[in-house]
């Protein structure tokens, strides 16, 4: 199996952790990232963890010329495609930006892969493709669609594009990885999630309250039909998720077609349970206020992760305690994330 992988969006949250996992598994990584939502410091930290170099190209995946240069200068065997915009709320305000980056970006990448004979692709999809009507737990055989925001629709659209491309070209093999809720950070505390502005997601918000950057957490809704009234999600450790990408690459080696895999733990945890688990792991109290529901939130969803176990040999090994402890280690060691040294934030 070829060992050189192009990682789009490699400076981001999941990308940076996946770089560590790739290097630990003996792969060489080449990164393209525009740094529109990340910092080059993340790549320096990854190299500090692994002790191995990463070749970095700063630029947009829609830049055909740059992609051509990357594929010419590096014997790329496979691509892991993280690059894209991911803020659900913002996607409704700026739908064209989201379709441009996520859909057009994937098309340009796919064309370049085709032109340079690169035949293996791992794509960052999301549990959001199951839409608002799907029964839980989500299983890959369910129909997808009925997404409720442009971000989710962009992921659904790219899945369809990749299925069609793989059906037309038997040499192409694609893993569509549907992530549930990634949280946590590398145990070194050197890399982690560093959102711009006010965090949209639960764990970064809690961590910023705990470190004193925000006053209190708003819990969006306590009247859902769940055991404690707050929403249930399938939180998984980003280090487990990163390893899932290595397993998917290994699986792709002798496959053709496009296959979807849920990457989650198979368990739902409530917002209140997360707050308590974080407080226990960090020893810090997280003040919170019960607030109205957030538009678009579903009451409860979690993965049926048995396909990833059977076919990829992947399971999420790290528990809630580790997720919370690692989130806190990252946040307390880096209260301003990649901070003042970051040039693009």
Asked if 294 touches ligand UFG (CB under 6 A), the answer is yes
Tokens representing 224 are 């859902």
In this chain, which of 38, 101, 120, 126 binds ligand UFG, going by CB under 6 A?
A: 126
Of residues 45, 77, 81, 86, which one binds ligand UFG by CB under 6 A?
86
Hunting for tokens 């397993």 — which residue is that? 247
Contact call for residue 244 and ligand NAD (CB under 6 A): no
**Residue closer to ligand UFG, measured from CB, 24 or 273:** 273
Distance between CA atoms of residues 94 and 79, nearest Å? 27
In the region spanning residues 209 to 228, those forming contacts with ligand UFG, defined by CB under 6 A, are 217-220
Catalytic residue (choose from 99, 151, 205, 235)? 151
Question: Any contact of residue 98 with ligand UFG (CB under 6 A)?
Answer: no
- DSSP-H helix ranges across the chain: 13-24, 40-50, 64-73, 88-93, 95-98, 105-115, 150-168, 202-210, 238-252, 271-282, 306-307, 320-333
Bond preceding residue 62 cis, omega within 30 of 0:
no
DSSP 8-state symbol, 272: H
- What is the C-alpha separation between 46 and 34, in angstroms, rounded? 17
List the x/- string, 93-132, binding to ligand NAD by CB under 6 A: --------x---x------------------x-x------
176 touches ligand NAD by CB under 6 A: no
Residues 171, 105: Cα–Cα separation, whole Å: 22
Q: Which does 219 bind (CB under 5 to 8 A by kind): ligand NAD, ligand UFG, none?
A: ligand UFG
Q: Is 138 a catalytic residue?
A: no
Q: What are the φ/ψ torsions at residue 258 (nearest 5 degrees)?
A: -120, 130
**Contact with ligand NAD (CB under 6 A) among 57, 84, 119, 221:** 84
Catalytic positions, written as ranges:
151
Binding site for ligand UFG (CB under 6 A): 86, 88, 126-128, 179-181, 200-202, 205, 217-220, 231, 233, 271, 294, 297
């Amino acid at each position: 199996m070829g060992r050189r992988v192009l990682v789009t969006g490699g400076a981001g949250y999941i990308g940076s952790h996946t770089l560590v996992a790739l290097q630990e598994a003996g792969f060489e990584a080449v990164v393209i990232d525009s740094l529109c939502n990340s910092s080059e410091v993340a790549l320096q930290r990854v190299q500090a963890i692994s002790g191995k170099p990463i070749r970095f190209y700063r630029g947009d995946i829609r830049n055909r010329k740059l992609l051509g240069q990357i594929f010419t200068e590096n014997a790329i065997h496979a691509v892991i495609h993280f690059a894209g915009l991911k803020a659900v709320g913002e996607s409704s305000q700026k739908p064209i930006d989201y379709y441009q980056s996520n859909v057009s970006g994937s098309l340009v990448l796919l064309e370049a892969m085709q032109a340079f004979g690169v035949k293996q692709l791992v794509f960052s999809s999301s549990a959001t493709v199951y839409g608002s009507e799907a029964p839980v737990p989500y299983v890959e055989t369910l129909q997808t669609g009925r997404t409720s925001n442009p971000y989710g629709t962009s992921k659904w659209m790219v899945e369809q594009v990749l299925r069609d491309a793989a059906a037309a070209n038997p040499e192409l093999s694609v893993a569509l990885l549907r992530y549930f809720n990634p949280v946590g950070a590398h145990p070194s505390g050197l890399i982690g999630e560093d959102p711009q502005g006010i965090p949209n997601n639960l764990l970064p918000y809690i961590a910023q309250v705990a470190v004193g950057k925000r006053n209190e957490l708003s819990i969006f809704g306590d009247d859902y039909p769940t055991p404690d009234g707050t929403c249930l999600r399938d939180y998984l450790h980003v280090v487990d998720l990163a390893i899932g990408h290595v397993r998917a690459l290994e699986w792709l080696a002798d496959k053709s077609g496009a296959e979807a895999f849920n990457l989650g733990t198979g368990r739902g945890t409530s917002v209140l349970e997360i707050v308590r688990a974080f407080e226990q792991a960090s020893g810090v109290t997280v003040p919170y206020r019960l607030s109205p529901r957030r538009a678009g939130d579903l009451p409860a969803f979690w993965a049926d992760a048995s396909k990833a176990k059977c076919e990829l040999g992947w399971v999420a090994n790290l528990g809630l305690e580790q997720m919370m402890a690692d989130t806190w280690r990252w946040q307390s060691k880096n209260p301003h994330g990649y901070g003042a040294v970051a040039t693009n934030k």
